[in-house]
Amino acid sequence: MGVEVLQIAGIPVSFSSEIDLKKIVSANTLETYQLFRLNLEAHKLSLLPAFDTLLSLNLSRGIVPFEHQINSVKKLLGRFRGRGMLCDEVGSRQDHRGIPCHARTYYQGVNQNSGAIKQEAFDLIIVDEAHHLKNANTVGWKFVNSLKKKYIFLLTATPVQNNLEELFNLVTLVYPGELGTLKSFRKNFISSGDRLTPKNYEQLRSLLGELIIRNRRATSDVKFTKRYAKTIRIQLSEEEVALYASVSDVVRNQYKGSPQQVKMALRILQEEIGSIPPAAVSTLESLKDKLPESAQISRLIEQCNLLTFSEKVKRLIDIIHSTPDKVIIFTKFRASHTAIMAALEKHGIRYSALRGGLTRHEKEKSIKEFQHTSKALVSTDVGSEGRNLQFCNHIINFDLPWNPMKIEQRIGRISRIGQDKEVHVTNLSAKDTIEDHILYLLDAKINMFELVIGEIDVILGRLDDETDFETLIMDVWTKSPDIKQFENEIAQLGEDLLAAKQKYSTLKNTEDKIFGDQFNTAVAEKTAREDPEDEHRDS
C-alpha cells in the first residue's frame, strides 16, 4: 500500500492504491460497467485499419470462409457501400446455415402484414432467392421496393431467367435509376426480337460491374469431387408385380374427381407401393373409409401385410456386401426403414438409424456411431436436411422421391465442401414402376446426376413455373388409360425436359456474355485505377 513512482520514457509516473476515485469523481458522472465495456469496444472499433475489416470471421463457428466470399463481402462493404446484388453462379455458393442473428423473415403472405411492415425502418434487408422478384408488376417486387431501408442485399444464382428486363427490375430494387429507364434499357441493351440476347454487352458488363458481384464456379476456390451414379433396375416377383398393378388401378380410378386431400393420399400411396408393399398399409387403411372400394382396399391391405419378402431388399443386401465403403441408405417411408434394418440385422451388417421422432441427442449419437463403427446408416429424408456426412462417399436411394430436389438434397449430404473422395450414388428402381420412368427422365434425358448442385432446380423451373414435377408425373400417370399411353406421355415429358435444359444452356451463354471471366477482372482494374490507395491497403 502507498505511492509507487516509476520512470516511463524518462517521465516520472506515480501510482497510488490509497486514492478513492469516488471522492475525486462525482457520483453522477460515473457510468455502469456495461456502458464502460460498450465505450471500450467503440474505441477499439475506431482503431481498426479499414471499414471492411471482418470482425466476425474468428468468432463464427462451423463456417469455412473462402477467399471469393471474403472478397465479395469486402467489396460489398467498401465499394458498394452496403447495397448490392450477390449473384454467384449456380453451384458456387456455400451453405451458410448455423449463423445466429436477430432477424425478421418475410416472404410468403406479405399481404397480411405488409401495412405494419412498411411502417418500420430497416437497417438491412436481405432477399434470398431474389429472382422471384424478377417481375416489377408483382406484389412481391412492389412490396420490397416500398420498404424503408438503409442497406439491401439481393441474393440469387439466376438474375436472368427469361429475358433481360428481369435483370433491370432486380437492379432497380437496389439502385433505382442506375440503368436508366426501362425504355432506354431496352433500346440500348436488348436485341430486337430476342429479349434474352444482349447487345452492347461490353457496355452492359461495365455498368453491371458497378452494381453486381458475380462469382463463377470456374474462378472460385470452391471445388467438388466427381460424382458417379448408376441405376439398378430390379425385376419384381410375380406377386409384387400383381400387387403393384392392383394398387395402381385403385389410384387411377379414384384420383380424378376426388377432394384434394384424397388426391394427396393417393399420390403418397402410389409412391409407397413403389418402395415395398408394407409401406402402403397405413395409407390404404386411412383411405378405406374415404373411397367406395373399401372391400377391395381391405384385400390389398391383407396382401401387403402377407407379402413381406422384397426383391429390392434382397438386392440391397447384395450391394452392401459388395461395397467396401460405408453407405447411407435413404428411404422415404417408415415401414421400408424398419424392413431394411431387419434385413441388415439378419445378415449381420452393423447399422445405425436416423429417422423422425428421435431426439436431437439420439440423432447425433447415431451419426457418431455410423462415422466410427457402423457399415450403414439407414435414414429417412430427415437425414437429408442440414447434415454434413462427407466422411461417407456412397449413398443408395432405396426408393426415389418424385421431387428431384429431394434427390439432390440427399446427394448434397455427401457431395459437398470437405468431401475428398469421389461420390457414388446407386439408385434402386423396380422395372415398369413410376420411379423407373422418373429415373429415365432425369438420368437418360437430362443427365441429372452429372449436373452441378442447383442446376436441376433452374431446369425444372423452366419446364413449368406453375406446376411442380410430382404433380406433372401424377397427372400423366392417372390420365393414361394404359401403360403404352403412359410411356408415350413420359417420352413427351422427356422431350420437354430436354428442351428446358437446352434453354438453360442458352441462358448460360447469355450470362457468359454479361458475366464472363472478364467481368470481375474489368471491375478490379477499374477499382485499382480509381482508388489505388485502397488497392495498396488491401494488399
Q: SS3 letters for 327-391?
A: EEEECCCHHHHHHHHHHHHHCCCCEEEECCCCCHHHHHHHHHHHHHCCCEEEECHHHHCCCCCCC
Give the count of domains, the chain: 3
The whole-angstrom separation of Cα 531 and Cα 538 is 11
Question: pLDDT tens string for the chain (539 positions)?
Answer: 566 667 666 777 777 666 666 666 666 666 778 888 888 888 887 777 666 677 777 776 666 777 778 888 888 877 777 888 888 877 665 544 444 444 455 555 555 566 778 888 898 899 988 988 999 999 899 999 999 999 999 998 888 888 899 999 999 999 999 999 999 999 999 998 888 888 888 899 888 888 888 877 776 767 778 889 999 999 999 999 999 999 999 999 999 889 999 999 999 999 999 999 999 999 999 999 888 888 999 999 999 999 988 999 999 999 999 999 999 999 999 999 999 999 999 999 999 999 988 888 999 999 999 999 999 999 998 765 667 788 999 999 999 999 888 898 898 888 877 788 999 999 999 999 999 999 988 888 888 888 877 788 888 877 766 678 899 999 999 999 888 999 999 999 999 999 989 888 888 888 888 887 655 554 555 555 555 444 433 33
pLDDT at residue 113, rounded to an integer: 61
Residue at 153: amino acid letter: F
pLDDT at residue 21, rounded to an integer: 62
Residue 519 domain-assigned (yes or no): no
Residue 127 domain-assigned (yes or no): yes
Residue 103 domain-assigned (yes or no): yes
Answer with the one of 181, 216, 251 that is the final residue of a domain: 216
One domain for residues 380 and 506: yes
Cβ 209 vs Cβ 182: under 8 Å: no
Task: List the domain range (segments joined by +) for residue 244.
Answer: 238-304
The whole-angstrom separation of Cα 39 and Cα 34 is 9
Residue 86 domain-assigned (yes or no): yes
pLDDT at residue 533, rounded to an integer: 44
Residue 102 domain-assigned (yes or no): yes
The whole-angstrom separation of Cα 95 and Cα 386 is 9
Residue 391 domain-assigned (yes or no): yes
pLDDT at residue 185, rounded to an integer: 94
Answer with the one of 304, 322, 350 that is the final residue of a domain: 304
Pairing of strands 11-16, 3-8: antiparallel
E strands present in 173-301: 212-213, 227-234
One domain for residues 407 and 454: yes
One domain for residues 133 and 244: no
One domain for residues 347 and 391: yes
Cβ 52 vs Cβ 77: under 8 Å: yes
One domain for residues 503 and 371: yes
One domain for residues 322 and 449: yes
CATH of the domain at 126: 3.40.50.10810
One domain for residues 110 and 193: yes
Predicted TM-score of the model (pTM): 0.75
The whole-angstrom separation of Cα 41 and Cα 25 is 23
CATH of the domain at 505: 3.40.50.300
Answer with the one of 304, 319, 353 that is the final residue of a domain: 304
Q: Read off the C-alpha cell for 85.
A: 446484388
Residue 45 domain-assigned (yes or no): no
One domain for residues 278 and 340: no
Q: How far is CA 12 from CA 9, 15, 442, in A?
A: 8, 10, 82
Length of the chain: 539
pLDDT at residue 57, rounded to an integer: 74
One domain for residues 115 and 131: yes
Q: Read off the C-alpha cell for 310.
A: 422384397
One domain for residues 119 and 150: yes
The whole-angstrom separation of Cα 126 and Cα 234 is 47
One domain for residues 199 and 177: yes
Residue 536 domain-assigned (yes or no): no
Question: Which region, left, alpha or beta, applies to residue 10 given φ > 0 means left and ψ of -120 to 50 means alpha?
Answer: left
One domain for residues 297 and 339: no
